[in-house]
Amino acid sequence: MKTTSAASLALVATLLAACGGGGSSFIPTQSAGTPTSSGSSTPPASGGTTTTPAVETLPVLGAAVGATLKDCASLAGFTFANTTITVANSITAGTLTVAGKPVAAHCQVSGSMYPRTGTDGQSYAVGFEMRLPTNWNGRFFYQANGGIDGSVSTATGGIGGGGALDNALDMGFAVISSDAGHRAALGPFFGLDPQARLDYGYQAVAKLTPMAKALIASAYGKGPDRSYFGGCSNGGRHTMVAMSRYPDDYDGFLVGDPGFRLPLAAAANIVGAQNYHALADTTAMTAANLGTGFTPAERTLVSNAVLAKCDALDGAADGLVQDTGACQAAFNLDRDVPTCSGSRDGTCLSAAQKQRIGQLFAGALDGNGKKFYSSFPWDAGLGTTGWAGWKFSNSLNLDSGAVAFIWQVPPASQTGFDGPTFTLTSNIDTILAKITSTDSLYTENSLSFMTPPNPTDLSKLKKRGAKAMVYHGTSDPIFSSDDTQHWYDQLMAANGGDASNFARFYRVPGMNHCSGGPTTDQFDMLTPLVNWVEKGQAADSVVASARGTGNVGGVNADVPATWAPDRTRPLCAYPKVARYKGSGDIEKAENFACQ
Catalytic positions are 233, 476, 513
Which range in 268-276, 300-308, 317-325, 358-366 contacts Ca ion by CB under 5 A?
317-325
Cα–Cα separations (whole angstroms), residue 550 to 100, 166, 522, 556: 12, 17, 13, 10
Residue 578 engages Ca ion in binding (rule: CB under 5 A): no
Kindly indicate which of the ranges 235-243, 283-291, 306-314, 405-413 contains the residues binding Ca ion, using the contact rule CB under 5 A.
306-314
Q: Residue 383 and residue 377: Cα distance in Å, rounded? A: 14
Binding-residue pattern over the window 520 to 559 for Ca ion, x denoting contact by CB under 5 A: ----------------------------------------
- Using CB under 5 A, which of 130, 215, 316, 478 touches Ca ion? 316
Which range binds Ca ion by CB under 5 A, 58-66, 197-205, 257-265, 320-328? 320-328
Angle made by CA atoms 141, 146, 150, in degrees to the nearest 5: 95
Helix, strand, or coil here: 232?
strand
Nearer to Ca ion, 104 or 326 (CB): 326
The answer to the question of residue 179 lying near Ca ion (CB under 5 A) is: no
Point out which span in 50-58, 287-295, 303-311, 449-457 binds Ca ion (CB under 5 A): 303-311
Burial class (CB in 10 A: 0-12, 13-18, 19+), 50: exposed
- Do the bridges between strand 67-68 and strand 135-136 make them parallel or antiparallel, or are there none, so unpaired? antiparallel
Q: Does 318 participate in binding Ca ion (rule CB under 5 A)?
A: yes
Residue 153 C-beta: closest distance to Ca ion, Å: 35
Closest separation in Å from C-beta 324 to Ca ion: 11
The pairing of strands 123-133 and 174-178 is antiparallel
CA separation for the pair 331, 356 (Å, rounded): 17
Q: From CA 419, how far away is CA 187, in angstroms rounded?
A: 12
Residue 402 contacts Ca ion per CB under 5 A: no
Give the ranges where 337-413 is alpha helix by DSSP (H).
Answer: 351-362, 385-388, 395-397, 399-401
Residue whose CB is less far from Ca ion, 318 or 476: 318
Residue 76: which of 110, 43, 42 has the closest Cα? 110
Give CA torsion, residues 116, 121, 123, 124, to 10 deg: -60
The residue among 152 and 313 lying less far from Ca ion, judged by its C-beta, is 313
In this chain, which of 159, 174, 320, 447 binds Ca ion, going by CB under 5 A? 320
323 binds Ca ion (CB under 5 A): no
Using the minimum distance from each CB to Ca ion, give the nearer residue, 455 or 510: 510
The answer to whether residue 314 forms part of the interface with Ca ion (CB under 5 A) is yes
Contact 144, 158 (CB under 8 A): no
Residue 307 CB, nearest approach to Ca ion (Å): 8
Q: Is 380 in the site for Ca ion (CB under 5 A)?
A: no
Among the listed ranges 108-116, 208-216, 309-317, 450-458, the one in contact with Ca ion (CB under 5 A) is 309-317
Q: Which amino acid is at 469?
A: M
Note whether 379 binds Ca ion by CB under 5 A. Answer: no
Q: Which residues bind Ca ion (CB under 5 A)?
A: 311, 314, 316, 318, 320
